[in-house]
Amino acid sequence: MEVISGADTTSGVPEVAQKVVAAQSEALRLAKVALYDTMMLAYVSAYEGNEKCAVAPFDAELHAGGYAVIKLAIICQAEYVA
């Protein structure tokens, strides 16, 4: 789960990205943490089959669009992770 939420390193941010991270506002860092927490809660709830967890019906167009956004995010972040 650490990898999914972006917290999979114990040594901190890679040197090539430290200036970028340091320049981020406190509001942006807080928003990222909130999104990671929300994402992990949804993942665990779905994985455990929590019936209180609302699940949207499958929509092929939305799924394809979401997949494209995820791919784009990975491409954009590649320069910081590499």
Provide the whole-model pTM: 0.47
CB-based contact 43:4 (threshold 8 Å): yes
CB-based contact 80:16 (threshold 8 Å): yes
Dist. CA 8–CA 6, nearest whole Å: 6
pLDDT in tens, 35-60: 888 888 888 888 888 888 877 788 99
Structure tokens that stand for 12 in this block: 């901190």
pLDDT-derived band at 62 (thresholds 50, 70, 90) equals very high
